[in-house]
């Protein structure tokens, strides 16, 4: 693997785009997978992987079931952290900030863009709730599949939506020779960003 370059001091969104594009080429799968950390209002944390489904200067978007554990935690406390670690690149990106729910139009458009089988799987899942047997889930899948086979698409369940994290900090970590790694943390500053190097 070539040695990582110094982290630029420019726009963190452009650095994200650059690193993400490189990760898509080098990661064996799911370069868009990121850990999502949530916390209850009294500060008990939990983390799980989700897929990044949109990003830009206005934030980082993922989709989920709002009745899930994360959904319940998000409803009570919109502050989250996102974490990418691309092992193939030896790079990490940490993002922190509050969430806002995407519009129904945005959630509908994304849900309808998913393959039919993914729509069925999401509609059939009571995410995070106990399941008596896997067959129960498979039966629900078969029932929803049959119900919408002719239409060829499943309506978006009202409890399935997306959230956008608007960063209040973006931090880049890059492996450098002799374990003298590099960290740079960006925070919003007026219309732009200001950055600080941190000891790794």
Query: Minimal distance in Å, beta carbon 29 to ligand FMN?
Result: 8
Q: Is 49 an interacting residue with respect to ligand FMN (CB under 6 A)?
A: yes
Closest CA to 75 of 42, 99, 108, 102: 99
Which of 5, 17, 18, 30 is the binder for ligand FMN (CB under 6 A)?
30
Alpha carbons 175 and 21: distance in angstroms, whole number = 18
Alpha carbons 119 and 123: distance in angstroms, whole number = 6
Sign of CA pseudo-dihedral 116, 119, 122, 125: negative
Which of 33, 39, 169, 187 is the binder for ligand FMN (CB under 6 A)?
33
Tokens of 55: 């990003």
Among the residue ranges 67-75, 76-84, 98-106, 137-145, the one whose residues contact ligand FMN (CB under 6 A)? 67-75
Footprint (CB under 6 A) of ligand FMN, residues 167-196 = none
* Residue 182 host element (H or E): strand 182-189
Say which DSSP state 126 is in: -
Closest CA to 183 of 198, 167, 168: 198
Query: Minimal distance in Å, beta carbon 32 to ligand FMN?
Result: 9
Backbone angles phi, psi at 189, to 5 degrees: -145, 100
Footprint (CB under 6 A) of ligand FMN, residues 81-140 = 127-128
Query: Minimal distance in Å, beta carbon 36 to ligand FMN?
Result: 8
| Beta-strand pair 192-198/182-189 | antiparallel
Question: Is the Cβ of residue 79 or residue 127 nearer to ligand FMN in the bound state?
Answer: 127
Among the residue ranges 49-57, 84-92, 97-105, 166-174, the one whose residues contact ligand FMN (CB under 6 A)? 49-57
Tokens of 125: 């899942």
Which of 16, 60, 62, 110 is the binder for ligand FMN (CB under 6 A)?
62
Q: Is 69 an interacting residue with respect to ligand FMN (CB under 6 A)?
A: yes
The contact set with ligand FMN (CB under 6 A) reads 30, 33, 46, 48-51, 62-65, 68-70, 127-128
């Amino acid at each position: 693997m070539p040695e990582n370059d110094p982290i630029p001091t420019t726009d963190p969104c452009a650095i994200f785009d650059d690193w993400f594009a490189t990760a898509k080429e080098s990661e064996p799968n799911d370069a868009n997978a990121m850990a999502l950390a949530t916390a209850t209002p009294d500060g008990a944390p939990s983390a799980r992987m989700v897929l990044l489904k949109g990003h830009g200067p206005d934030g980082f978007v993922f989709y989920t079931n709002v009745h899930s554990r994360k959904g319940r935690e998000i409803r009570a406390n919109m502050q989250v952290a996102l974490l990418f670690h691309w092992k193939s690149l030896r790079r990490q990106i940490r993002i922190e900030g509050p969430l806002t729910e995407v519009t129904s139009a945005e959630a509908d458009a994304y849900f309808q863009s998913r393959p039919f089988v993914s729509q069925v799987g999401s509609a059939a899942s009571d995410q995070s709730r106990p399941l008596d047997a896997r067959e129960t889930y498979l039966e629900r899948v078969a029932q929803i599949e049959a119900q919408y086979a002719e239409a060829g698409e499943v309506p978006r369940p009202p409890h399935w939506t997306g959230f956008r994290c608007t960063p209040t900090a973006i931090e880049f970590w890059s492996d450098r020779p002799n374990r003298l790694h590099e960290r740079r943390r960006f925070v919003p500053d007026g219309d732009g960003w200001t950055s600080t190097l941190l000891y790794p």
